[in-house]
Amino acid sequence: MALRDILTVPHPVLKQVSKPVDKVDDTLRALMDDMLETMYAAPGIGLAAVQIGEPVRVIVMDLQEKPEDAPEDAEGVRNPRYFVNPEIVAKSEDLAPYEEGCLSVPDIYDEVLRPAKVRLRYLNYQGEQVEEDAEGLFATCIQHEMDHLEGVLFIDHLSKLKRDRAVAKVKKAKKSEAA
Ligand code: K1U
Ligand code: ZN
């Protein structure tokens, strides 16, 4: 497993539409392992492959809450999840707000409204097809990650003013880190 760099705005690869995966094989599982390690290290609760420069339709996620006293890398409290070629096959009409963040737009948080419940179809780590309902943070996070597969960031759901300010803030932070 390897830690990979997470691309941040305004990197052009983040705007690419990711390609479907042909086969869930050991090469793809190695990519998913790298993604999960990178997500845990960030730390984050989700990651799309395009965020590490691989525009393929793969997402990892772990929404498990860690007990206060658990060590950072406590494997026992992990609940990694893998989504290959995910599709939303149904969504609720009611919307739910969530104050979202994104590892590709560090230190920016804002409220986004999305369908409160979705039904998903995807391939898991073994390449088996799964259908499942998502609600709460799971529904929010999978929709945020599936937006990444279309080249859409959560700031694209905000006003142009807020989006431009967010990108400018990330650029400025990167400049001062590099100095
Ligand atoms: O960049 C990403 O796509 C990951 C992103 C996922 C997400 C967060 C909130 C709403 C929707 C999608 C993050 O993980 S941002 C970091 C974060 O939320 C977090 C980090 C540490 C502990 C708990 C949460
Ligand atoms: Zn994101």
pLDDT in tens, the chain (179 residues): 899 999 999 999 999 999 999 999 999 999 999 999 999 999 999 999 999 999 999 999 999 987 777 766 666 689 999 999 999 999 999 999 999 999 999 999 999 999 999 999 999 999 999 999 999 999 999 999 999 999 999 999 999 999 999 999 999 999 999 98
Tell me the C-alpha to C-alpha distance, in Å, between residue 115 and each of 30, 107, 159.
Answer: 32, 24, 19
Q: Is 106 in the pocket of ligand 1 (CB under 6 A)?
A: no
Structure tokens at 164: 């431009």
From first CA to last CA, the distance across the chain in angstroms is: 31
Query: Strand 110-115 vs strand 95-100: parallel, antiparallel, or unpaired?
Result: antiparallel
Q: Three-state SS for 108?
A: coil
Specify the ligand 1 atom closest to the Cα of 145.
3
CA of 109 to the centre of ligand 1 (A): 10
pTM (two decimals): 0.95
Cα(51)–Cα(29) distance, integer angstroms = 17
Q: Is 28 in the pocket of ligand 1 (CB under 6 A)?
A: no
Q: Residues within 5 Å of ion ligand 2 by Cβ?
A: 102
Q: Is 114 in the pocket of ligand 1 (CB under 6 A)?
A: no
Q: Is 46 in the pocket of ligand 1 (CB under 6 A)?
A: yes
Per-residue buried b or exposed e for 93-125, using 16+ beta carbons within 10 Å of the residue's own CB: eeebebebbbbbbbebebebebbbbbebebbeb
Annotation marks residue 150 as catalytic: no
Residue 53 backbone class (left: φ over 0; alpha: ψ -120 to 50; beta: rest): left
Tell me the C-alpha to C-alpha distance, in Å, between residue 125 and each of 22, 23, 24, 60, 63.
Answer: 14, 11, 7, 10, 17
Q: Which of 45, 68, 108 to mutate to test the pocket of ligand 1 (most atoms within 8 A of CB)?
A: 45
Helices (H), the chain: 26-41, 136-149, 160-178
Count of Cβ atoms closer than 10 Å to residue 29 Cβ:
15
CA of 102 to the centre of ligand 1 (A): 5
